[in-house]
Amino acid sequence: MEEHTVRQATLGDLQRVSAFMTAQGQHRCSEAYLEHWFFGDARYAGGITLVEDGERIVAMATIKSCRFRQGDRTLSVGMPQKVLTDSRLRGKGLFGRCYRAAEEAFWTGGGELLLTVTNAASTPIFLERFGFVRLPSPEIAILPPAFRAPSEQASVDGTGAANSAGVWHMLRDEGYWSWRYGQVTSDPYLTVARGGGRAVVRPIRKGRVPLALLMDVDAPSQEVAKALVQEARYRTWRMRRPFLLALLGGPCEVPLRRSAWLVRRSGFNFLMKGPDTGATKRSLQERFSLSFGDLDFF
């Protein structure tokens, strides 16, 4: 391993990074996508850690940076997303070395917490070797479409904050909406706005079944939250999708639960880690929520 070097990627590396990811069978890894996702708005950027053998990339790891909010408090959160190794060099310790270097760079840069959703293969590694702990798997609501849009009266600002008390969730300010959905995307996102809030719906196919995902939603009040959920369901019907899927636990949980046809566990492996063992244990007392828009694979 001594001949390998570890460093943080720069903009000048993106052509090589894109080629490496493509060789490992990855999608959504164009230079433009990587530049936007990791080198765009500094508040939502992240890091790409490289392990190189001379001029050749042999492993890489990515951690996305973001801010979570709970009331007036904010938290600098990193979301590990990809750890890739050259298929010819697997089993030689590159996975662990590369990921640990990425994590060290995140903590050194002022990060406060790590949250991630892992696949079946990497979950045991993150739990047993990297010190992560499990959080409850997010619940998913399956909502039927609505055959009419909410009335205009339903769009006015109501009373009562929509944000779930005591739950950490992604901070969705104007910069976030512009960064996440306003640039460098070929995905068919549909944004709806009402009463100072907004929601994003995306049509997908799961196998042969056409569905819609509620990617993101934010509302200043319960009335606006209710109107946005109905608007998203109405747009689902207009897309000719039989169901709208949404992750629960965030700002609009109440109207989502009330409108749901079925609620069940998503099955996602939702993991968390603090900068040390004590911080990890303390953070287990907190509640964290995700939306589909928080996850890079959506």
Which amino acid, one-letter code, is at 257? R
**Is the separation of the CB atoms in 141 and 256 below 8 Å?**
yes
Q: Which of 68, 73, 19 is nearest to 43 (CA)?
A: 68
pLDDT at 1: 46
The CA distances from residue 63 to 46, 49, 117, 167, in Å, are 6, 9, 12, 22
Strands 5-8 and 46-53: antiparallel
| pLDDT tens by residue, 15-44 | 999 999 999 999 889 999 999 889 887 777
In this structure, of 131-145, 151-165, 174-188, the range with the lowest mean pLDDT score is 151-165
pLDDT at 59: 97
Q: How many CB atoms lie within 10 A of CB 232?
A: 28
> What are the phi and psi torsion angles at 202 (to 5°)?
-130, 125
Does residue 153 carry a pLDDT above 70? Answer: no
More confident residue, 156 or 271: 271
Domain map of the chain by residue range? Answer: 5-136+267-284, 139-265
Per DSSP, 136 falls in state P
Architecture of the domain delimited by 5-136+267-284: 3-Layer(aba) Sandwich (3.40)
Summarize the confidence of residues 145-170 as an average pLDDT: 71
Q: How many CB atoms lie within 10 A of CB 160?
A: 11
pTM: predicted TM-score of the whole model, two decimal places: 0.91
| pLDDT tens by residue, 226-247 | 999 999 999 999 999 999 999 9
Residues 25 and 33: their CA atoms lie apart, in Å, by 16
> What tokens were used for 7?
């460093």
Kindly state the helix (H) or strand (E) to which residue 102 belongs, with its residue range: helix 94-108
| pLDDT tens by residue, 94-145 | 999 999 999 999 999 999 999 999 999 999 999 999 999 999 999 999 999 9
- Name 280's Cβ contacts closer than 8 Å, sequence gap at least 6: 131, 133, 272, 273, 274
Q: How many CB atoms lie within 10 A of CB 269?
A: 19
- Name 251's Cβ contacts closer than 8 Å, sequence gap at least 6: 162, 163, 164, 169, 217, 218, 219, 225
Summarize the confidence of residues 165-180 as an average pLDDT: 87
Domains 5-136+267-284 and 139-265 agree in fold: yes
**Is the separation of the CB atoms in 107 and 280 below 8 Å?**
no
Does residue 160 carry a pLDDT above 60? Answer: no
Q: What is the mean pLDDT of the chain?
A: 90
Architecture of the domain delimited by 139-265: 3-Layer(aba) Sandwich (3.40)
